[in-house]
Structure 1
Amino acid sequence: MTAPPLQGSSITDFGVDAQGELSKLRRHFGRADIFFYLVCTLFGVDGLGTLATKGGAGFTWLILCLLLFALPSSMLLAELGAAYTDEGGPYVWVRMAYGHLAGAVNNFLYWVTNPVWMGGTLVGTAVGGLLVFFNGGNEYSTTTLYIIGAVFIWAGVLFAILSFRVGKWVSTIGACSRFLLLGVFVVVIVMYGAEHGFHGIGAGGFAPSYSSFVALVPLILFSMVGFELPSAAGDEMKDAAKDVPAGIRKSLITTGLLYGLPVLGILLVLPASQASGLAGFPDAIKQALTVFGGTVSTAADGTVTTTLTGFSQLIGWIMGLLIVIAAFTSGLTWIMGSDRALAVSCLDKAGPRYLGEFSERFGTPVRVNILSGVVSSVVFVAATEITSGDAAKFFTVALSLAVSTTLMSYLGLFPAAWTLRRKNPDHPLPYRSPAIAFTTSISLVFIVFCTVQILFPGLGDSWFGSDYRPDGWTGDEKWTYLLTEFVPLAVFIAIGVAFWALGRRERPTSESIPPASVASVR
């Protein structure tokens, strides 16, 4: 049975016009849907190879970040998602806590990182899987890259336009593809080790270092944010107060396992020198699959070349397709959620009203969905041209930009729970984050430090030194790298301010939002 239309947000009064748009939404999102959605949101295959580039230190930082960052930050977001269940949750929370300007700028950063990520890193991940399993590791021509990128991006836009009733099944398929991909990987790793012996890492290889912290922790944090994303469809949930904390708790444990097991597998099968950010995970899979047929040869320079034959090649093709599906559904879930947050911000007059329209037929923000596709395409073309089709350098440029914009958006999100608890002491909290001062502080410390290190890798020791600069870059390219990161960030912030200014002209003099729920805007 189709659920009845909603009557608008329960906390924030967006006005009659906006309520008309929100009434197009339907409740489709249950507890199992939230869990599968979060698995797709949190676990992506694009960073697995990079996590192994520093040997066992990558695994050590993964566990530490899980305990010291993902756990406390997820509790903050569980409190917000259970207590404030409006559509566009991530925007609404920041806007309620700090006003329209902070909400507009923070939310634009939160949104724009996803088309940047989809048109950059995720396309690169899909290309990496195709290169390893379907093209013998050889680079594709620029024309072929453009074709792959266009199909990848605009297929995602199409699915994002479809209603959540359809889109949630895509995330379910994406989650299942991850379970199958990593389940097969773990099995073949064990078989490979039993037959050939493991590469092995001594106990000292797991010791963390400052250089590995700078190189890996920003990426790990990027991989462990997103617990709030289902709340962007808060008005489409069946019971957000109960389902959000439960979904976050289960997905936190699942994500830890999904990241931890493959990273260990990569470390056991491939020498660290062979694990690149673009193809380290596919290479590890390919090498392990030789237990079903194939050969592994090592050149004089230590390069490992793997050839699959017969049944192993068939399994390799399947694994390559699963990598593409995992990358595709990662981008899709983020686009579905962040597009809703941007549309709601525009309904709340923190951006152009034109972008705030929801489709009567699909109940989705079609105009923002199309805008995401356009931005993704521009990023894809720009990154391809800047790097002259160099897939490895393309990957690092796009990934660094996606990480920096994402982390910056959490500077507004993480403290919102503590702020709203103090502003609205009588508001019901179905879930309360324990030790909220500590969880907020430690989450922000991680975010601030890692954002700085993304922009200036190695700052405080050796900025852009050999131990810190991203793969594919040389020491004399640090200013080029900085410009590729800083200029887009400055442009994104300026656009966020422009959105606020456009919306301010449409806002009435007196705020219509209940003073008990929100901060003063001016």
Structure 2
Amino acid sequence: MSSDMTSSAPPTSPPTAGLQRSLKRFDITAMAIAAVISFDTVGQIATGGGEAATWTAVIALFFLIPYALLFAETGAAFPQEGGPYVWVKLALGRPAAVLTTLFYWVTNPIWLGGSLVFLAAETWDGFVFHLGSGTFADYTFKLLFVWAAILTAVVSLRRGKWITTAGALVKVLCLVLFTATAVLYGVEHGFQGLTDARFTPTTAGFLGLVPILLFAYVGFEAPNAAGEEMHNPQRDVPAALGRSAAVAACCYLLPVLALLAVAPAGKVTGIGGFMEGARLVFSVYGGAAGPLLTLTAVMFVFALLTQGSAWMIVSDRMQAMAAADGGFFSRSLGVFHPRLGTPVRTNLLSGAVATVFMLAAMRLADGDAAAVFAVVLTVAVTTLLLSYLVVVPALVLLRLRRPDAVRPFRVPFGNPGFLICAGLVYAWILIGSWSALFPGVLESVVGLDYDFHEVWGVSRAAFEAFTLGTVVVLLLVGAAGLAVARRERAR
């Protein structure tokens, strides 16, 4: 770390022995792609019909670009280990940083033990090997999936980065293959899905798609959690974030368009949309379609696995730094392994949370995989988006209060440009958070019909108990963690 960087933003966390600088620009880009591009959301987005493509493009323009600018500047200016935890602590103090990090972190074991593992099991069951629902094979597959993702986060980053890099490459390859094959299928059979597709944006589509699209686009700052394991974060973070954001925008918009173009209207489902679309379009390969579809399914599951491990790598580091800094329960929880350079105890905690959540989700909605998938994903959307309600103001305060910080990259037009970008991002996050926590409320305000049970497959009472209950439990856990840590510091 340069002397300028040290003088402008002194480290706020204790030294982490054993860290090695192993991330270069390509590694940072690949890690962001592996973490952010979400196979589980491609089908979920496409359920919005033709206007899903419209809103995907609109939010890329008016949310993703200002979001990328904000985090590119802050990530290069404050590259300490822990990323957003450090930024919020510098701006708002330790308690706010601890609670924000808890919400940011817990999203990922919830997501891993919920939507990711359910989508992986559904894909494996339908295209590779029959597992059944609620069977011994089903439970075994899901447990192996969860703990394989955790173990890839436990290994040293010098080795683990290649697993996430492979996942990023496989993910992009799958999406490119699907999009190209859909074009071939459309040329041969016609783009029947476009006949009934309506690309005109509507208020109902907006309210239904905003939370999932924001969830799909956030997270490019995640590699900053390993800021002190980067070779040159001041130079590499802005470039890597820009490249990964551009790739992500294309990898969402093009497959969604391709899926809508070839799939019959109303046949796209959130849990099976991508692979069911692949089953349809791969028929252009004749006799090779079956083996190719199976191979694609295996690649699909591997990409999901590495997506989970990429988030475990970065979010576990954030949570570990909060503990090591004396803010969350015991400092021992944040210890980095002296040889591996990874927060093994936090990794194992993530695995335990993901396992518990997976087992609980298996029992939700009487085993209805589609309803479980939608509700679990909404919980993950909610906790992650809520964390940005604190992170974004922290970025603004750092910009205004620390003008002397060395900023290799700056948002155009100085403070006004930064504030405009932050305002746009915050407005989107507010809408997305409210829509995720209280679906149907804004619809009723603007006079739209909303059949809650038809949309979610569960009652509003069950939905709100699951989502709001999760938020309340997290706040209680965070308060307890702060109290225990305070007593430990006093001793």
Specify the TM-score bucket, using the shorter chain as the normaliser.
over 0.9
Determine the structure 2 residue equivalent to 1:62.
56
Q: Counterparts of 2:255 and 2:132 in 1: how far apart (Å)? A: 25
Q: What is the Cα deviation at residue 220 of structure 1? A: 0.5
Q: Could you tell me which amino acid in structure 1 is paired with residue 352 of structure 2?
A: V
Instruction: Establish whether residue 47 from structure 1 lines up as the match of residue 30 from structure 2.
Output: no
Determine the structure 2 residue equivalent to 1:334.
311
Q: What is the Cα deviation at residue 377 of structure 1? A: 0.2
Determine the structure 2 residue equivalent to 1:297.
none
Provide the aligned length of Structure 1 versus Structure 2.
Answer: 481
Tell me the SS of whatever aligns to 1:274.
coil
Determine the structure 1 residue equivalent to 2:361.
383
Gaps (5+ residues) in structure 1? 1-7, 294-309, 510-522
Determine the structure 1 residue equivalent to 2:322.
345
Quick one: which of 469, 480, 484 aligns to 1:487? Answer: 469
Instruction: Establish whether residue 271 from structure 1 lines up as the match of residue 254 from structure 2.
Output: no
Q: Counterparts of 2:152 and 2:87 in 1: how far apart (Å)? A: 27
Quick one: which of 76, 97, 120 aligns to 1:103? Answer: 97
Distance 1:470 1:186, change over 3 A: farther
Contact in 2 for aligned 1:110/1:338 (Cα 8 Å): yes
Quick one: which of 78, 98, 104 aligns to 2:72? Answer: 78
What CA RMSD, in Å, does the superposition of the two structures yield over aligned residues? 2.2
Determine the structure 2 residue equivalent to 1:189.
182
Q: Counterparts of 2:177 and 2:465 in 1: how far apart (Å)? A: 41
Determine the structure 2 residue equivalent to 1:262.
255
Determine the structure 2 residue equivalent to 1:126.
120
Quick one: which of 481, 487, 490 aligns to 1:505? Answer: 487
Worse overlay, 402-411 or 421-430? 421-430
Q: What is the Cα deviation at residue 135 of structure 1? A: 5.5
Contact in 2 for aligned 1:52/1:58 (Cα 8 Å): yes
Distance 1:70 1:468, change over 3 A: farther
Q: What is the Cα deviation at residue 195 of structure 1? A: 1.6
Give the 5 Å matches for 1:266-345.
266-293=259-286, 310-345=287-322
Q: Counterparts of 2:161 and 2:453 in 1: how far apart (Å)? A: 35
Determine the structure 1 residue equivalent to 2:151.
158
Determine the structure 2 residue equivalent to 1:402.
380
Give the 5 Å matches for 1:7-22.
11-14=9-12, 18-19=14-15, 22=16
Deviations 1:52-78 (A, max 9, x none): 112111001100110111111111111
Q: What is the Cα deviation at residue 401 of structure 1? A: 0.3
Determine the structure 2 residue equivalent to 1:213.
206
Determine the structure 2 residue equivalent to 1:171.
164
Q: What is the Cα deviation at residue 14 of structure 1? A: 4.9
Q: Counterparts of 1:127 and 1:395 in 2: how far apart (Å)? A: 12
Q: Counterparts of 2:280 and 2:375 in 1: how far apart (Å)? A: 27
Distance 1:472 1:140, change over 3 A: farther
Instruction: Establish whether residue 478 from structure 1 lines up as the match of residue 460 from structure 2.
Output: yes
Q: Counterparts of 2:77 and 2:17 in 1: how far apart (Å)? A: 21
Q: Counterparts of 2:7 and 2:46 in 1: how far apart (Å)? A: 44
Distance 1:223 1:470, change over 3 A: farther
Q: What is the Cα deviation at residue 202 of structure 1? A: 5.4
Q: Going by fraction, where is helix more abundant, 1 or 2?
A: 2
Q: What is the Cα deviation at residue 467 of structure 1? A: 4.4
Q: Counterparts of 1:273 and 1:283 in 2: how far apart (Å)? A: 13
Determine the structure 2 residue equivalent to 1:305.
none
Q: Could you tell me which amino acid in structure 2 is paired with residue 279 of structure 1?
A: G
Tell me the SS of whatever aligns to 2:266.
helix
Determine the structure 2 residue equivalent to 1:5.
none
Instruction: Establish whether residue 439 from structure 1 lines up as the match of residue 421 from structure 2.
Output: yes
Quick one: which of 340, 344, 362 aligns to 1:362? Answer: 340
Q: Counterparts of 2:282 and 2:195 in 1: how far apart (Å)? A: 25
Tell me the SS of whatever aligns to 1:482.
helix
- Give percent identity, aligned residues only: 37
Q: Could you tell me which amino acid in structure 2 is paired with residue 483 of structure 1?
A: A
Q: Could you tell me which amino acid in structure 2 is paired with residue 340 of structure 1?
A: R
Deviations 1:343-400 (A, max 9, x none): 1111111112121111011000000000000000000000101233221111012100
Distance 1:14 1:473, change over 3 A: closer
Q: Could you tell me which amino acid in structure 1 is paired with residue 409 of structure 2?
A: Y
Q: What is the Cα deviation at residue 492 of structure 1? A: 0.9
Distance 1:422 1:507, change over 3 A: farther
Determine the structure 2 residue equivalent to 1:304.
none
Q: What is the Cα deviation at residue 469 of structure 1? A: 4.0
Contact in 2 for aligned 1:107/1:341 (Cα 8 Å): yes
Q: What is the Cα deviation at residue 115 of structure 1? A: 0.2
Give the 5 Å matches for 1:415-434.
415-434=393-412
Contact in 1 for aligned 2:197/2:265 (Cα 8 Å): no
Q: What is the Cα deviation at residue 417 of structure 1? A: 1.9
Q: Counterparts of 1:441 and 1:53 in 2: how far apart (Å)? A: 29
Q: Could you tell me which amino acid in structure 2 is paired with residue 201 of structure 1?
A: L
Gaps (5+ residues) in structure 2? 1-5
Deviations 1:239-277 (A, max 9, x none): 000100000111111111111111011101112311111
Distance 1:481 1:175, change over 3 A: same
Instruction: Establish whether residue 32 from structure 1 lines up as the match of residue 26 from structure 2.
Output: yes
Quick one: which of 360, 374, 382 aligns to 2:352? Answer: 374
Distance 1:467 1:274, change over 3 A: farther
Instruction: Establish whether residue 393 from structure 1 lines up as the match of residue 371 from structure 2.
Output: yes
Q: Could you tell me which amino acid in structure 1 is paired with residue 426 of structure 2?
A: L
Q: Counterparts of 1:465 and 1:116 in 2: how far apart (Å)? A: 31
Deviations 1:113-134 (A, max 9, x none): 1000000010122123223323
Q: Counterparts of 2:450 and 2:243 in 1: how far apart (Å)? A: 36
Q: Counterparts of 2:44 and 2:341 in 1: how far apart (Å)? A: 38
Q: Counterparts of 2:174 and 2:456 in 1: how far apart (Å)? A: 31
Contact in 2 for aligned 1:48/1:259 (Cα 8 Å): yes
Contact in 2 for aligned 1:52/1:272 (Cα 8 Å): no
Deviations 1:393-452 (A, max 9, x none): 110121000000010011111122210121112111111123111111111111111111
Worse overlay, 431-440 or 234-243? 431-440
Q: Counterparts of 1:471 and 1:177 in 2: how far apart (Å)? A: 35
Determine the structure 1 residue equivalent to 2:3.
none
Tell me the SS of whatever aligns to 1:415.
helix
Q: Counterparts of 1:269 and 1:41 in 2: how far apart (Å)? A: 28
Distance 1:188 1:104, change over 3 A: same
Contact in 2 for aligned 1:357/1:367 (Cα 8 Å): yes
Contact in 2 for aligned 1:10/1:85 (Cα 8 Å): no
Contact in 1 for aligned 2:207/2:442 (Cα 8 Å): no
